[in-house]
Amino acid sequence: MKETDKPQEQFEDMRILDELKNSYLNYAMSVIVSRALPDVRDGLKPSQRRILVAMNDLNLGPRSKHRKCAKIVGDTGGNYHPHGDQATYGTLVRLGQDWNMRYTLVDPQGNFGSIDSDPPAAMRYTEARMAAPATEMLEDLKHDTVDFVPN
């Protein structure tokens, strides 16, 4: 093989600081768009959707008994959302606060905090079940209209 037949490697000179800034900004924007902003189709963030799916798996509809939030958070973390339980519990609490949600998706029982920023009780003392709007959102889940993707 001749020297001229070898593929030529092309490297672009750039400052490492500029590359780090651009790469971090691209990563941060992708995280914000995929996790922190609500989806336009249902208005939910992925963490909120995962909590509702876990509650649906537990059959926690509006006519069922309330279940301990610790159980809901544990099932959510174990099956769908492998992050800290306190972050998941905070999301669950906000789904049940009528001053945070236009339509509450969780029917809370116990101390779920107050509008004056009082914190909620620990998850072992509170209970929840889905509110009617949440069951309407999940009504067609059993028809497998959307494929689940691995987490």
Domain ranges in the chain are: 42-143
Of 24, 27, 103, 125, catalytic: 125
**Percent of the chain residues past pLDDT 90, beyond the cut:** 62
Question: What span, in angstroms and rounded, lies between the C-alpha atoms of 118 and 42?
Answer: 29
* Cα angle: 124, vertex 109, 54; to 5 degrees: 70
Which residue would you say has higher pLDDT here, 33 or 115? 115
Fold of 42-143: Topoisomerase II; domain 5 (3.90.199)
- E strand or H helix that includes residue 70: helix 69-79
Average pLDDT, rounded, for the chain: 90
Its sign, for the CA torsion 23, 49, 122, 111, is positive
Say whether 24 is catalytic: no
Closest CA to 91 of 131, 49, 41: 49
Task: Please provide residue 68's backbone torsions phi and psi, each rounded to the nearest 5 degrees.
Answer: -60, 135
Tell me the pTM: 0.77
Which pLDDT value is given to residue 150?
Answer: 67
Task: Quote the longest CA-to-CA distance of the chain.
Answer: 79
